[in-house]
Structure 1
Amino acid sequence: MAILLAATVFVATSQRLKSVPRQSVSVEMQVALPLFVQVFMAMGDRHLAANLASIRALVVATDKMQPDEFKILAKVQEDVSWLNPGHEDNYYIAFAVLAQYGELDAAQRILARASRMRFFDYQPTFFYGFNQWYYKRDPVGAAAWMREAAEKLPDPDQRLTMQNMAARWMDTAQDTELAIRVVEALAKEARRRDFRVYLETRVVRLRQLHQLRTAAVTYRERFGRPLSNLQELVDSGILPALPQDPFGFGFGFDPQGEIVLRTSSPRS
């Protein structure tokens, strides 16, 4: 009876909180309570404890928070994730807030737990993969999570879109040989022939990129200086000709002088 009453109070309170202005940071994020205290205060109901802690994260204003307060917010949200790994609001906040304010590792732990618990929901898996690509600069790991997220989508076209995103992220991998193997695996898994051919074409581009990067290393070793343009690989006799990108975008240099795949045609 007591738990039912507490749940009723919680529902009524959460509805009212929607119209209440967010409190100042100093009030809401001064301390993270130990887990056993949170469960005790929720009369032993860990899901209720998770909901109450989630409300703390929802109502706090983040625009004036300090780094130490974001650490407390991350601890509160990790507690929610431990109490109820599938809590939807919690993983949304982890992705939208924690990753942007220096608490990426906490966000990833929350998203990984949500991904395992919410086997029917592609979003926490997608968010984890996005963070790996955008913040961690790990396209290989990101692509693996994107492939997993794609399998959770019921619509075939949506799955193709996500698999294509995984393949495109591999263009930025430093280890081109590994990137080639990953996209080759994607091509073998592709059910549609046209998509398989598309992925195989991306493999061709990655092989061309690997050829150019290997030739650039040879050029540096032979002449003691880096390339200034790709044509030097032909003029020096290292390559008989420059590879022709099947997508027509070609190859260029990033700000660090690394040869990369272009994603659009160069301006004339």
Structure 2
Amino acid sequence: MLVAMLCWGAFAYSGLRLYDYERLDQRMEVLRVRLPLLVQLLNAGGDTYLAANLNVLRGVTVDVRVTEQETYRIQGQLQVDAASFNPRHEDNYYLAAAILPWNGQVEAGQEVLLQAAQTRTWDMWPAFYYAFNAMYFERDMPKAGHWAEIAAQRHPGNAAALRSMAAAWYERQNDSAVALDVLRAMHAHSSDAEFRKLLQARITRLEGLLVLRKALADYRQQHDGQMPTDGQALIGYGGLETLPEDPLGAGYVLDSQGQLQIADHIDSRMQE
């Protein structure tokens, strides 16, 4: 009883201290607080399923316009906590697959997906998303192939296609065209209007990346391997008429190897 009272006291004190901090943007819902697991559990009356639901609810209510990384760092922690309380939580793993890796929280997203894949042994999707992230973000092709094979075992109807994908991933490098196919599949299978809107924005962003990469390849071929001075220099190459806009506002950048990437994963933005 004494421990519970102390925890509640600490929780109340933390809540009062939050009034001293000004919110970064009053127009958008951002995340700043992640309580210790024990306090979360006490706040849910000892119900682990309720504690998981509360964390997932906090992640769902984040405004899709939010782009600052601290919110996604906290969301990643909250979703990992939710997986600790209830690793089988379907909304938690699906939200983690769609949001976290695409906003710099690959490790958190993979932890949520791995716990779901290990406990939802009848469900191919967490295993498949875990495999896809291993291929696309972590570039770990053996891991990607292994978990794609596990997904195949869980869905006999798609086993042939998944095993073919597993074989390809053992040999494949980072492939944005595959990423685009996965996002389109997630969009097709989702019934939530807001979630579909977010996925469509990510599809548009990736389509823009592929168009820019085609233009860059054409430019370099016609200029003896030289790099363009800015994005505008690519117009007219590879069929590019105008520079694509990222609907999520991150933009596109050239990495240290001279390859175009989405700005989520590297620091400097491509100058337009």
Interval of TM-score (by shorter of Structure 1 and Structure 2): 0.5 to 0.7
Pairwise CA distance, 1:136: 1.3
Pairwise CA distance, 1:50: 0.6
Percentage identity across paired residues of the two chains: 36
Matched, 1:70 2:72: yes
C-alpha distance in structure 2 between counterparts of 1:130 and 1:25, whole Å: 34
C-alpha distance in structure 2 between counterparts of 1:129 and 1:63, whole Å: 28
Q: SS of the residue aligned with 1:38?
A: helix
Matched, 1:160 2:151: no
Distance 1:25 1:55, change over 3 A: farther
What are the superposed Cα offsets for residues 226-265 of structure 1, whole Å, 9 maximum, x if unpaired?
Answer: xxxxxxxxxxxxxxxxxxxxxxxxxxxxx9xxxxxxxxxx
Distance 1:25 1:31, change over 3 A: farther
Pick the aligned partner of 1:54 from 39, 53, 56.
56
Indicate if the aligned counterparts of 1:25 and 1:62 stay in contact, CA closer than 8 A: no
Indicate if the aligned counterparts of 2:30 and 2:71 stay in contact, CA closer than 8 A: no
- The 4+ residue runs of structure 1 with deviation greater than 6 A are 23-26
Distance 1:100 1:83, change over 3 A: same
Indicate if the aligned counterparts of 2:28 and 2:63 stay in contact, CA closer than 8 A: no
Code of the aligned partner of 1:160: A
C-alpha distance in structure 2 between counterparts of 1:58 and 1:27, whole Å: 10
Give the alignment of 1:116-131 within 5 angstroms: 116-131=118-133
What are the superposed Cα offsets for residues 153-178 of structure 1, whole Å, 9 maximum, x if unpaired?
Answer: 132xx10110001112223269xxxx
Pairwise CA distance, 1:28: 4.8
Pairwise CA distance, 1:52: 1.2
C-alpha distance in structure 2 between counterparts of 1:100 and 1:41, whole Å: 30
Q: Identify unmatched segments of 5+ residues in structure 1.
A: 1-22, 175-254, 256-268
Pick the aligned partner of 2:115 from 107, 110, 113.
113
Code of the aligned partner of 2:170: M
Indicate if the aligned counterparts of 2:96 and 2:113 stay in contact, CA closer than 8 A: yes
Aligned residues: 151
Code of the aligned partner of 1:117: T
Pairwise CA distance, 1:62: 3.6
Pairwise CA distance, 1:118: 0.3
Give the alignment of 1:223-262 within 5 angstroms: none
Pairwise CA distance, 1:26: 6.4
Pairwise CA distance, 1:63: 2.2
**2:104 maps to what in 1?**
102
Pairwise CA distance, 1:39: 1.0
What are the superposed Cα offsets for residues 162-203 of structure 1, whole Å, 9 maximum, x if unpaired?
Answer: 0001112223269xxxxxxxxxxxxxxxxxxxxxxxxxxxxx
What are the superposed Cα offsets for residues 77-124 of structure 1, whole Å, 9 maximum, x if unpaired?
Answer: 111010000101111111101000110011111100000110110100
C-alpha distance in structure 1 between counterparts of 2:84 and 2:119, whole Å: 11
Pairwise CA distance, 1:37: 1.3
Pairwise CA distance, 1:44: 0.7
Indicate if the aligned counterparts of 1:24 and 1:60 stay in contact, CA closer than 8 A: no
C-alpha distance in structure 1 between counterparts of 2:54 and 2:40, whole Å: 9
Pick the aligned partner of 2:31 from 29, 32, 39.
29
Q: SS of the residue aligned with 1:43?
A: coil
Which structure is richer in relative contact order (CA contacts within 8 A, separation 6 or more)?
A: 2
Q: Identify unmatched segments of 5+ residues in structure 2.
A: 1-24, 175-258, 260-272
C-alpha distance in structure 2 between counterparts of 1:25 and 1:129, whole Å: 36
C-alpha distance in structure 2 between counterparts of 1:25 and 1:143, whole Å: 43
Indicate if the aligned counterparts of 1:71 and 1:103 stay in contact, CA closer than 8 A: yes
C-alpha distance in structure 2 between counterparts of 1:42 and 1:25, whole Å: 28
Distance 1:52 1:46, change over 3 A: same
C-alpha distance in structure 1 between counterparts of 2:150 and 2:29, whole Å: 40
TM-score normalised over the length of structure 2: 0.52
Query: Which structure has the larger Rg over C-alpha atoms?
Result: 1
**2:170 maps to what in 1?**
170
Pairwise CA distance, 1:41: 1.3
TM-score normalised over the length of structure 1: 0.53
**2:88 maps to what in 1?**
86
Indicate if the aligned counterparts of 2:28 and 2:65 stay in contact, CA closer than 8 A: no
Code of the aligned partner of 2:124: Y
